[in-house]
């Protein structure tokens, strides 16, 4: 089974404090630690497990620049057979559709049975997978938390409300967006990354892919972020201050009033 996993390098939200930069037009990026988008990592692990059982290979691809190569290498250190960078100035400023357009062009240059993305990235878009599927006319399922290969089809379950699972059968080739928790990703250590440090990562630009520059990048984007700002702190919570005893006494009083202490 030939599997393509679309990955993304993002600031690691758990290890970073996100703040606005002094100019106010972006977040402060100096001290940020970047890593692979967590759901994408689960997707790669899932692909590796599927290929270990059914044979085939795993390709990881990202749309970005030189900095983004490091996540490709990390996933290759994890076991992906090939990493590909899609990079071109023309791609800068792409919205979700732009990214999906570039990926679609790459997909059509090869032959993949299955395309995986993570369910969403740091911008909470949760869109590239669905868009890519529509562009390719492949069936799509989002929030996938289990995959079973069944002949030439897949049985996938989707995470819906209440912890319930929606079981679906889906034809190949298809696109799936993968939810965290689907598996336990293997560890990738520094040594593994060093070992793939010199493996070649081919890079393709707009002309290699046959992508029309006006359809992608800032030029083709219909959705553009204008700025970042800190949300105006609304009324918010009544913060209880003072020494521990006072705070607890006040809290108990409030909870009693709301009928919580019976």
Contacts (CB under 8 A) with another protein, residues 33-72: 33, 35
Restricted to residues 153-182, the positions that interact with another protein (CB under 8 A) are 155, 157-171, 174, 177, 179-181
Please list, in sequence order, all residues whose beta carbon lies within 8 angstroms of the beta carbon of residue 37, skipping any fewer than 6 positions away: 7, 8, 9, 10, 118, 121, 122
Please list, in sequence order, all residues whose beta carbon lies within 8 angstroms of the beta carbon of residue 252, skipping any fewer than 6 positions away: 261
Q: Binding of another protein at residue 189 (CB under 8 A)?
A: yes
Token pair of 67 as six digits:
């900095």
Q: Binding of another protein at residue 149 (CB under 8 A)?
A: no
* Among 27-35, 53-61, 82-90, 206-214, the segment contacting another protein (CB under 8 A): 27-35
The H or E element that residue 189 is part of is none
Please list, in sequence order, all residues whose beta carbon lies within 8 angstroms of the beta carbon of residue 181, skipping any fewer than 6 positions away: 42, 145
**Residue 108 CA: distances (Å) to CA of 48, 114, 136, 151, 211:** 22, 13, 8, 24, 11
Using the minimum distance from each CB to another protein, give the nearer residue, 55 or 190: 190
Using the minimum distance from each CB to another protein, give the nearer residue, 140 or 204: 140
Restricted to residues 219-238, the positions that interact with another protein (CB under 8 A) are 222-231, 233-234, 236-238
Write each residue from 102 to 121 as x if it is in contact with another protein (CB under 8 A), else as -, in one continuous string: -----------------x--
Q: Binding of another protein at residue 123 (CB under 8 A)?
A: yes
CA dihedral 128, 129, 134, 138 (to 10 degrees): 160
Q: Binding of another protein at residue 17 (CB under 8 A)?
A: yes
Using the minimum distance from each CB to another protein, give the nearer residue, 94 or 202: 94
Q: Binding of another protein at residue 240 (CB under 8 A)?
A: yes
Min dist CB 203 to another protein, Å, is 25
Min dist CB 100 to another protein, Å, is 7
Token pair of 25 as six digits:
């037009």
**Which string of DSSP letters, residue by residue, matches 21-32?**
-TTSSSB--TT-
Min dist CB 86 to another protein, Å, is 19
Token pair of 167 as six digits:
């079981």
Q: Which of 22, 55, 124, 151 binds another protein (CB under 8 A)?
A: 124
Using the minimum distance from each CB to another protein, give the nearer residue, 78 or 90: 78
Question: For residues 181 and 146, what is the distance between their CA atoms, to the nearest angstrom?
Answer: 9
Q: Binding of another protein at residue 23 (CB under 8 A)?
A: no
**Residue 210 CA: distances (Å) to CA of 5, 87, 101, 107, 181:** 21, 13, 11, 12, 37
Min dist CB 96 to another protein, Å, is 7
Q: Binding of another protein at residue 190 (CB under 8 A)?
A: yes
């Amino acid at each position: 089974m030939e599997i393509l996993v679309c990955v993304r390098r993002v600031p690691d939200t758990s290890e970073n404090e996100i703040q606005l930069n002094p100019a106010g037009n972006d977040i402060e990026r100096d001290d940020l630690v970047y890593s692979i988008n967590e759901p994408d990592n689960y997707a790669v692990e899932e692909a590796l497990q599927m290929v270990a059982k059914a044979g085939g290979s795993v390709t990881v691809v990202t749309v970005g620049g030189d900095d983004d190569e490091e996540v490709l290498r990390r996933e290759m250190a994890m076991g992906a057979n090939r990493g590909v960078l899609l990079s071109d100035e023309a791609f800068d400023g792409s919205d979700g559709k732009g990214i999906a357009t570039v990926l679609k062009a790459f997909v059509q240059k090869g032959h993949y049975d299955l395309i995986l993305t993570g369910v969403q990235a740091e911008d909470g878009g949760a869109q590239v997978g669905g868009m890519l599927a529509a562009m390719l006319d492949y069936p799509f399922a989002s929030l996938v938390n289990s995959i079973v290969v069944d002949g030439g089809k897949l049985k996938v379950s989707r995470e819906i409300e209440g912890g319930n699972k929606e079981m679906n059968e889906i034809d190949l080739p298809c696109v799936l967006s993968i939810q965290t928790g689907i598996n336990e990703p293997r560890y990738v250590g520094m040594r593994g990354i060093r070992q793939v440090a010199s493996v070649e990562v081919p890079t393709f630009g707009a002309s290699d892919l046959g992508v029309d520059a006006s359809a992608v990048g800032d030029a083709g984007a219909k959705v553009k972020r204008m700025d970042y700002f800190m949300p105006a702190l609304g009324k918010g919570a009544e913060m209880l201050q003072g020494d521990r005893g006072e705070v607890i006494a006040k809290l108990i009083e409030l909870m009693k009033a709301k009928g919580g202490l019976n």
